[in-house]
Amino acid sequence: MRFWRQLRWQMIGAQMLVVVVGVVTLNLTANILIEQSIAPDQVAAVRTAVMQALTIAAVAATIAGLTTSILLVQVILRSLRSIARSSRRIAAGRYDERVTVPASDELRAVAESFNQMAEALEQIEQRRITMIGNVAHELRTPLAGIEGYLEGLIDGVLPNTANTFLDMKQEVRRLRRLVDDLQTLSRVEAGQIALHFTTFDINE
């Protein structure tokens, strides 16, 4: 909230600075022209008329500037608040969240970048869910085999021989390979493994 107030007052201050500089410049220019081109007996009347015109113009410019600044700030703040709300929803796990792209070029670039980020996060989340499902399926197979061997040994269906334990050891090895693959994958994603890409003939 403090940021929005600061932005609003900064834009209003900038608009007022433009009005003040314009009025001062016009006043100085008018005084120089009056002294150079107006008869001495008419200088006071002309100067009064110019000051009145400048005062009216300054008031009109101030009102127009303030109105324009307020409207512009509202448009900017509306878009920024929308992005802020969407970012909070994405942080809460709603990766399908998108923001409306405004007409302004600068805000459009921000909104499009935000939507691209949200889409990338949604794809990453979908891949993560798919990978978890695949890992669970792959782990279930050797675990089911080991469980079957153990139940067979307990019930006396399978013989208590070296071959039975070798078969169980094979399932344990499958589990170890899966765990090693997961560990390697996590290291790659963390950037701990450097990948060296080469071109090769796939037919070989």
76 and 10 in contact (C-beta within 8 Å)?
Answer: no
The arithmetic mean of pLDDT across residues 161-188, rounded, is 86
Q: What is the mean pLDDT of the chain?
A: 78
- 174: its two tokens: 């499958």
Tell me the pLDDT band of 10, cut-offs 50, 70 and 90: low
DSSP-assigned letter for residue 103: S
Residue for token pair 């021989």? 161
Task: Characterize 141-178 residue by residue with b for buried, 16 or more Cβ atoms within 10 angstroms of its Cβ, and e for exposed.
Answer: ebeebbeebeeebeeeebeeeeeeeeebeebeebbeee
Sequence-separated (6 or more) residues with CB below 8 Å from residue 4:
77, 80, 81
Judged against a pLDDT cut of 70, whether residue 175 lies above it is answered with yes
What would the pLDDT profile of 62-95 be if each residue is shown by its tens digit?
A: 777 777 777 777 777 777 778 888 888 888 888 7
Task: Characterize 72-91 residue by residue with b for buried, 16 or more Cβ atoms within 10 angstroms of its Cβ, and e for exposed.
Answer: ebeebbebbebbeebeeebe
What is the predicted pLDDT for the residue at 199? 92
What is the predicted pLDDT for the residue at 29? 73
Task: Characterize 56-66 residue by residue with b for buried, 16 or more Cβ atoms within 10 angstroms of its Cβ, and e for exposed.
Answer: eebeebeeebe
The arithmetic mean of pLDDT across residues 23-52, rounded, is 70
What would the pLDDT profile of 113-150 be if each residue is shown by its tens digit?
A: 888 888 888 888 888 888 888 888 888 888 888 888 88
